[in-house]
Amino acid sequence: MDDARDSIAPDLPRAHGGAVLAADLRSAPEDFFVEELPGFEPSGSGEHLLLTIEKRGMNTAFVARRLAGWAGVEERGIGYAGLKDRHAVTRQRFSVHLPGREDPPLEALAFEGEGGEALKVLESTRHARKLPRGALAGNRFVLRLRGARGDREAVESRLRDIADRGVPNYFGEQRFGRGGGNLHAALAMFGGKRVGREQRSHLLSAARSSLFNRVLAARVAGGNWDSGVEGEAWMLDGSRSVFGPEPWSDALAERLARFDIHPSGPLWGQGEPRSAGEARRIEVEALAAPPGAALMAGLERAGLKQERRALRLRPAGLQWHWSDADELALRFELPPGAYATVVLAELGAIRDVSAHPRD
């Protein structure tokens, strides 16, 4: 089955073989449902109102602005753990700083727009602190793929492989903007173009993510993205902790097999990468082609420090169901910073209708 040009992650090699499925994603917002998994229990008291909100057809920044207007506070008084897409139905937490004030009426927040946009409050309580970025345990996804075309036995075999071995932990294409625009803008910024503080953060992330994806793509092509090589820097599952390199051992093999540790790749910045030997050689070769050197130099000048990211991602609780109308529903959970689209890309040419609407 040939890939469509506008499929998710079209230029990154798959770990499990050629495409076995073609389908459409996000024909409607309900086809992409994502729910934050809370990272903590609310304190029940404090200066911040903690809201769990379900939204349709709105991005996180839009809801944050609406909350600020509703509460009569500046946008900096609004906190959220992660960014969620507009073309989806999502549930996520927001905090609103209301020191010494009564809670504004929640019914005034409910909204239904003519274009199908909707917002409603599911839960509210008080909390002692502003909700910081990354304060979540992960995300739960329920995805519906419409117009599924492919051999069902092959698709289900691929899904079992994904459940057993995981997938390459690529950064999703949304990190880079349409047509890779964020990367072009990052190179312009590194060349001296002035940008705003928030845009600068996005562009630095795009540059780092592109370099990481290069290394991971080389590891996938070499068949060692999930097995490790000599000189590997290992990352603990569910953590940013890194150890090694150290000699291969039965203990490492056992921990790798049960997904307690993962091979890692560089998030570029100042300092020497943690890897050595063969792992370092692969990284150096993968980053050598233009504009790798320019991106690395720009990140170093920006003051970022060397970090690592796991090369392997395992969707938790992966389940699937076929309907009679050639629709495939998937359900799984991912840790923070992981992308549902890279799981789908291992199946084949999954067309994001929201990004590429049909004529």
Together in a domain, 69 and 206:
no
Here the CATH number for the domain that contains residue 59 is 3.30.2350.20
Which of 82, 117, 134 is the last residue in one of the domains? 134
Which of 134, 151, 175 is the last residue in one of the domains? 134
Helical segments of 135-228, H only: 152-165, 181-190, 197-221
Task: Judge whether 231 lies within some domain.
Answer: yes
Together in a domain, 85 and 184:
no
* 3 state SS of 206: helix
User: CA 76, CA 98: separation in Å to the nearest integer?
Assistant: 12
Residue-wise pLDDT tens digits, 223-280: 999 998 999 999 999 999 999 999 999 999 999 999 999 999 999 999 999 999 999 9
Task: Judge whether 333 lies within some domain.
Answer: no
Contacts of 198 (CB under 8 A, 6+ apart): none
Here the CATH number for the domain that contains residue 256 is 3.30.2340.10
Together in a domain, 82 and 216:
no
Task: Judge whether 259 lies within some domain.
Answer: yes
Together in a domain, 106 and 194:
no
Together in a domain, 184 and 287:
yes
Together in a domain, 114 and 172:
no
Together in a domain, 101 and 172:
no
Task: Judge whether 340 lies within some domain.
Answer: no
Query: pLDDT band at 356, cuts 50/70/90?
Result: low
Residue-wise pLDDT tens digits, 7-26: 434 479 999 999 999 999 99
User: CA 208, CA 227: separation in Å to the nearest integer?
Assistant: 23
Query: pLDDT band at 4, cuts 50/70/90?
Result: very low
To the query of whether residue 85 is one of the catalytic residues in this protein, the response is yes
User: CA 59, CA 44: separation in Å to the nearest integer?
Assistant: 27
Q: Which amino acid is at 292?
A: G
What percentage of the chain carries pLDDT values higher than 70?
96
Residue 6 pLDDT greater than 50, yes or no: no
Check residue 258 and give its pLDDT. Answer: 96
Task: Judge whether 6 lies within some domain.
Answer: no
* 3 state SS of 101: coil
CA distances from 70 to 29, 42, 46, 99, 319 (A): 25, 22, 19, 15, 39
The pair phi, psi for residue 206, each rounded to 5°, is -65, -40
Residue 326 CA, chain-centre distance (Å), reads: 27
Which of 297, 313, 329 is the last residue in one of the domains? 313
Strands 48-56 and 261-267: unpaired
Together in a domain, 268 and 186:
yes
Task: Judge whether 290 lies within some domain.
Answer: yes
- Chain position carrying tokens 């097999």: 257
DSSP string computed for 277-342: HHHHHHHHHHHHSTTHHHHHHHHHHTT-B-EEEESEE--EEEEEEE-TTS-EEEEEEE-TT--HHH
Cβ distance 240 to 274 under 8 Å?
no
Together in a domain, 263 and 210:
yes
- Among residues 85, 164, 237, 324, which one is catalytic? 85
Query: pLDDT band at 145, cuts 50/70/90?
Result: very high
Domain that holds residue 77: 40-134
Which of 139-153, 175-189, 327-341 has the lowest average pLDDT?
175-189
Task: Judge whether 204 lies within some domain.
Answer: yes
Residue-wise pLDDT tens digits, 308-344: 999 999 999 999 999 977 999 999 999 999 999 999 9
Check residue 10 and give its pLDDT. Answer: 45
User: How is residue 253 written in tokens?
Assistant: 């093999």
Check residue 3 and give its pLDDT. Answer: 38
Select the more confidently predicted residue: 308 or 179.
308
What percentage of the chain carries pLDDT values higher than 90?
86
Query: pLDDT band at 35, cuts 50/70/90?
Result: very high
Task: Judge whether 247 lies within some domain.
Answer: yes
Cβ distance 325 to 289 under 8 Å?
no
* 3 state SS of 22: strand
Residue-wise pLDDT tens digits, 192-223: 999 998 899 999 999 999 999 999 999 999 99
Together in a domain, 172 and 106:
no
Together in a domain, 181 and 281:
yes
Burial (Cβ within 10 Å: 0-12, 13-18, ≥19) of residue 107: exposed
Mean residue pLDDT of the chain comes to 92
When divided into structural domains, the chain yields a total of: 2
Cβ distance 147 to 23 under 8 Å?
yes
Which of 80-84, 92-96, 121-125, 161-165 has the lowest average pLDDT?
80-84
* Strand partners for 53: 92, 121
Query: pLDDT band at 5, cuts 50/70/90?
Result: very low
* 3 state SS of 268: coil
